[in-house]
Amino acid sequence: MTAKVSYGSVEVGTELPAQSFRVTRATLVQYAGASGDFNPIHWNEKFAREVGLPDVIAHGMFTMAEAIRVVTDWAGDPGAVVEYGVRFTKPVVVPNDDKGALVEVVGKVAALLDDNLVRVDLTAMSDGKKVLGMSRAVVRLA
């Protein structure tokens, strides 16, 4: 019989509190200003459609940053994240209305590592589609 390994109350399968965030066209403009990423696929419907997108899409790095908030809020310290990576699987399409797009993020502890580190796997969905794949963070627990 194998012993169940945990770090305090954290064990494999521990679910992090889920979060949702809205992305509107105004959000995209604010992010473009902060990041310097003014690619027209993030603000110009005509251009986005001409390059084969269904509409304006959110910046990938913005989506990635919002998703990791599930982990940083749970850990209580953004500096606890020692590694984070994702694959962009589908774009977050942002309609030109007051609601925008909704991105829903859930996380679960997938592995306990050495030195009080855990791997958290995240799932980010928008409009019923997975928008981030292989979304994983390594977190140092306090």
pLDDT of 62 over the 50 cut: yes
CB burial of 75-113 (b: ≥16 within 10 Å; e: otherwise) equals beeeebbeebebeeebbbbbbeeeebbebbbbbebeebe
- Which domain covers residue 87, as residue numbers? 12-23+59-140
Identify whether 68 is part of a domain: yes
Q: How far apart are CA 11 and CA 64, in angstroms?
A: 25
Structure confidence at residue 33 (pLDDT): 96
Q: How confident is the model at residue 3 (pLDDT cuts 50, 70, 90)?
A: very low
Residue 74 lies in a domain: yes
Residue 109 inside a domain? The answer is yes
| Spatial contact of 61 and 91, defined as CB atoms under 8 Å apart | no
Instruction: Tell me if 18 is assigned to some domain.
Output: yes
* Cβ contact 94:24 at 8 Å: yes
Please tell me the pTM assigned to this model. 0.90
Number of domains in the chain: 1
In a domain, 131, yes or no: yes
pLDDT tens per residue, range 69-104: 999 999 999 999 999 999 999 999 999 999 999 999
Residue 80 covered by a domain: yes
